[in-house]
Structure 1
Amino acid sequence: MQAAVFVPGGPATEIEVKSIAEPEITANEVLLQVRAAAVDNVDTYVRRGIFKTELATPAVIGRDAVGTVLAVGPAVTKFKVGDWVWTNSMGYEGRPGATSEQLAVPEDRLYAVPDGVDPVALVAAVHAAATAQIVLQTVMQAHPQQTILIAGAAGHVGTKLVQLAALRGLDVWTTSAPKDFAMLQQLGSQHCLDYHQALPDLGMPPMQHVIATSARVPLNQQCAVLAPGGMVTLITAPTDASFDVPAFYMQRQVMQGFVISHATVTELAQAATQLNQAFAQGKLLDDQVVVKSFAAAAWAHTAMEAGTLGRNKVVLVPNQLK
């Protein structure tokens, strides 16, 4: 079978589509016929060795895949041949990467595709959507009526945070370019503010939750608009990471970091249940998707590292399906 194979620590240009052995499933695994695999920024971190993790051999890019069940192990009870399913935790911790024609997936890392949902739109959404869901539910433990500031809300993770925070009943504040205000209001932002201004100058009330999707938002500004006892959640490293430590601890404020690569199987499954409910209602499926063949894998990683994709989300499909 064909797969997009990379050299650990190597450049994007060394990603090649190669013929590798078809997987053999164990008792608790499902054999997936991959129909599409998403390209995520974290995939470049895994390939380059920035995110340290055990890799399968050969090393294949990608963690998010959608497809149909080809076979199931004897201990599998949730799925049958022909089912449409998705996964978002392959390609790290020793598991095979998603960008291959077939994929052996542990049953507990696999979820059903809701009826009527476009599988390509779904796989394009799952990385950002699952990140947002776990942040809100597990990290923040956010409750209705709480205030949340999503700084840099117009990108992939930001738009998912807006929608899911609104669904949870939070009072959603966002910063973005003014041209994105209408879109964010439609998604659920109740207060749209211009990101060109410093956060403390925007006149917002103290926030119970603050999260920035961009490294360009200084940490001291995030802390400056935080309510006593509030939480800053970090999903990226601010370029300017200095902040007023005495003021922070004297107000019993909290700072937590999160990367989805360390989410537990239970956290991923709980998030998948919530996301599937939203997907079935047509929510969270608003990404600008660019579909390419596996052969474009090197281009996709190169473009992502160069920052030239904009808001486009690249999804790769087996060469014969493109």
Structure 2
Amino acid sequence: MAKTAEQTGRDETSGLDRLREEVVDFLGAQVERLADAAGDKMEGLTDQLQDVAENGGVLPKVGARVLKGDNPLKALIGEKAKSIKDSATEKVSNLFGGGKGKKSGSAKSMNIIEHLDVGVPVRVAYDHWTRFEAFSSFTKGVRSVSQGGEGDSDWKVKVGPSTRSWKATVQEQIPDERIAWTSEGAKGSTRGCVSFHEVTPTLTHIVLVVEYYPSGFFEKTGNIWRAQGRRLRLDAKHFQRYVTLSDETPDGWRGEIRDGEVVRTHEEAVEEEEAEESEYEDEEGAEDEAPEEESGEDEEEAPEDEYAEGEDEYEDEDEDEDQ
């Protein structure tokens, strides 16, 4: 039975639809395959870059061989094979107790030293520094600080485009003199000390010393441009500005810490300071009263001496008249 023109048209349309779907599926599969391949290449490139950043990698050595005239592919295969051999040798050596080479994962520290002069007494500058939770209100790098125990605090700090977290522990704290601490975080660790020095009764010199040990690809890469150091220096300037211009009297932490242990609490320190101030005021009052009593005795005795001298002169005149 012959097909009508309408049936033939429907069959052609159905065939075109199936062909279109197959073409779309084929193109989708090809795009997905290309995307996977590109992703694998990017992942491999990232691994190589991280290898270069952390361990030196083979790319610099390959580049050196290419500059000397070696074939690029041959240089890459040779250096990669050498890298695998060295890695296997190191693992075997470590397995049998060897491996005295460079410590794996070791990172160079970045040293930051900053000097600040603030136009306030030493106690005011020190008390401002101990108020860690207020740092986020006047600095740009500190996002938040939450105080734990006496000497422990959790910090969230902006480093470059990211926010990092550290847990800080005060190792030594002497009121109005110095604070030394250590901190640990997923992306780095620090050791630091800040000391306070009286220049005049209304001028304090502050010395800030920090060692920063970055960890991770981005942290080590950021260390090349000294991003962390610039951030810390800028925040130190913000502290200098805030403390010098502030008209408030801060209520700082006056306790004392030695070797990471609290040897004198804030309350004990405040009680001792109040007792010393009270004793000093009593001594000052006693010294002020003593000269007034002595001067009063002199004023009372003076008229008696003058009167006595007058009587002697009067008696001498009477004796002359009698003679």
Same fold (TM over 0.5): no
Bigger relative CO (Cα 8 Å, ≥ 6 apart): 1
Q: Hey, which of these two has a bigger chunk of helix by percent? A: 2
Relative to the length of structure 1, the TM-score reads: 0.24
- Higher gyration radius (CA): 2
